[in-house]
A and B are shown apart, each in its own frame.
Chain A
């Protein structure tokens, strides 16, 4: 009669040990992608390029220097960078949100290029686009910061 509880005790101990091991293996829950330093750095670099573009436009708008043709390399460069980032993030598990943000950013850059092709008469008409694109970068970087500062168990 005493043997039975001992068997149970051993089994319970084993069960507890195995459950603990299992819990240890998956103790950190991940519902969204891991922080990726390369993505973060590339987005910051892209934001710097875009910021420089707006500074140049503010200085040259109304002059031949602000013509669309002079900025084709800028648009090519920025679109290439976003495409590179899209390919990179596709390889990161649970990165759907960042991927959607990059698609959205690419669309904004495409529409900015279309506006530029039509020509800017004053910097005033560029302000809403500048604000919106800067907000997008701030939002993307804010998410990267949250990924970086998440709780690790």
Chain B
């Protein structure tokens, strides 16, 4: 198949499908992790409140506990951000891979 015969609208559609597939599979991976982490934060903060109310920890300790929770939440959100970037990168690379396959097939040898 000569390069001029490449169906560009089909190529764009295939690239979009490849990108969408990569993004979908990543969200499927990250969703349970994000949900579980958010649930756990809520439980931890509730527990700190209970410990303070029962007089088991001082205000100073409660503040230190809350600072740990805040930093931990930051770490989790950074992971979600990082995985989002990896997903975007995967989507771009999956689309490039489609171009690569199409061009190589069109010219009959491995150029890309």
B83 and A135 contacting across the interface, CB-CB below 8 Å:
no
For the complex, is A108 an interface residue (Cβ under 8 Å from B)?
Answer: yes
Nearest 9 interchain pairs by C-beta: A132-B72, A139-B79, A136-B75, A128-B44, A151-B90, A97-B82, A139-B76, A143-B82, A31-B89
The verdict on A150 contacting B90 (CB below 8 Å), with A115-B64, A115-B65, A125-B57 known, is yes
Give 13 pairs: A residue, B residue, CB < 8 Å, sorted on A.
A16-B3, A27-B100, A101-B78, A104-B71, A108-B71, A125-B51, A128-B48, A131-B40, A135-B40, A135-B41, A147-B86, A151-B94, A152-B93
Residues of A within 8 A of B60 (CB): 118
User: Does B53 reach chain A (CB closer than 8 Å)?
Assistant: no
Pair B33/A142 contact, Cβ less than 8 Å: yes
Contact flag A133-B56 (CB < 8 Å), given A30-B89, A146-B82, A146-B86: no
Q: What residues of chain A lie closer than 8 Å to B79, measured between beta carbons? A: 97, 101, 139-140, 142-143
Q: How far is the CA of A98 from the CA of B29 in the complex (A)?
A: 20
| A29 contacts across to B, CB distance below 8 A | 89, 92-93, 96
Q: Which residues of B contact A97 (CB under 8 A)?
A: 78-79, 81-82, 85
Interface size on A, residues (CB 8 A): 46
* A114 B64 Cβ-Cβ under 8 A: yes
B96 touches A153 (CB 8 A): yes
- The residue that B78 contacts in the complex, of A104, A112, A132, A147, with Cβ under 8 A, is A104
Report A22 CB to chain B, min CB distance, Å: 10
Query: Which residues in A have their C-beta under 8 angstroms from that of B13?
Result: none
Given contacts A29-B89, A132-B69, A139-B75, 9 further A-B contacts (CB under 8 A): A23-B96, A24-B112, A31-B85, A100-B74, A104-B78, A118-B61, A132-B71, A139-B37, A139-B78
Q: Is the interface of B mostly helix, strand, loop or mixed?
A: helix
Whether A151 contacts B97 by the Cβ 8 Å rule is: yes
A45 at interface, CB cutoff 8 A: no
Contact of A32 among B40, B75, B85, B99 (CB under 8 A): B85
Q: How far is the CA of A132 from the CA of B65 in the complex (A)?
A: 9
> Is A125 in contact with B100, judged by CB distance below 8 angstroms?
no
Contact yes or no, A23 B112, CB < 8 A? yes
Residues B29-48 near A (CB distance < 8 A): 29, 33, 37, 40-41, 43-45, 47-48
